[in-house]
Amino acid sequence: MLLQGKNALITGAARGIGAATVEAFAAEGANVWAFARTPDPALEARCQALSARYGGWVRPLYADLADEAAVSAAVRAAMGDKLPLDILVNNAGMMGEDKVFQLTPVEEMRRLFEANFFGPVVLTQLATRWMARKRKGAVVNVASVAGLDGSSRLDYSASKAAVISATRTMARELAGAGIRVNAVAPGYTDTDMTRGLGEKVEQEAVARALLRRKGKPEEIAAVIAFLASDRAAYVTAQVWRVDGGIL
């Protein structure tokens, strides 16, 4: 198994790509702190079921990534388990409303950047200090093809472009501590967030992909698991497109 005996912290764990990644990691032998914004009985039941199914442990952890104090408290709570941290997956994020940038209040853009960029940066600062005790670790940031190619949503595209740039800077700074940092850039993936975009957006996205279909959350999760594993020990500072072949 790719992640046997590894301990991972995965954000956005309640649904979509995050939920698929939690299950993929558990199936590959990892123990997981499943990080979500608010207490969720469904997530807690899923954690118990995954622990029973795969034999490791999966534990919920809660904090709003926009609240730096809450994030710090959640990390301290996880560290209280007296276990090393091997992997961080920064998956949580938001898309915001579909508005042209000229009509989007800057405060809305700031809130989106708090969730998509600043929150993950704060969490990565805390997590990599924890990882550095072993002088080995892996961070995988979930960006988007919108951060590479742009999109009609300025704030979302810009926040994901910031994640991509940060990935490369983090990789450069943390290499000396034995920590690898990579990103995945999913294309149109079948999640609650993309379903809210409407049928026209979906049809256009599918038409752009060579495979002519939406991605599945578990397909993104499989790439995340590989990048987090020792199989990718010589991979860092990279952004992997998982988009069905957008050219």
Q: Which helix (H) or strand (E) holds 198?
A: none
Enter the DSSP assignment of 115: I
| Catalytic residue selected from 54, 156, 188, 234 | 156
For 15, 155, 193, 216, 241, the CA distances from 107, given in Å and listed in that order, are: 26, 11, 21, 32, 30
- Residue 112 in tokens: 């989106």
List, as own/partner pairs, every contact residues 163-169 make where C-beta atoms lie below 8 angstroms and the sequence separation is at least 24, other chains included: 163/90, 163/116, 163/117, 163/120, 164/239, 166/117, 166/121, 166/141, 167/141, 167/143, 167/237, 167/239, 168/237
Catalytic residue check, 156: yes
Among all residues, which ones are annotated catalytic? Answer: 156
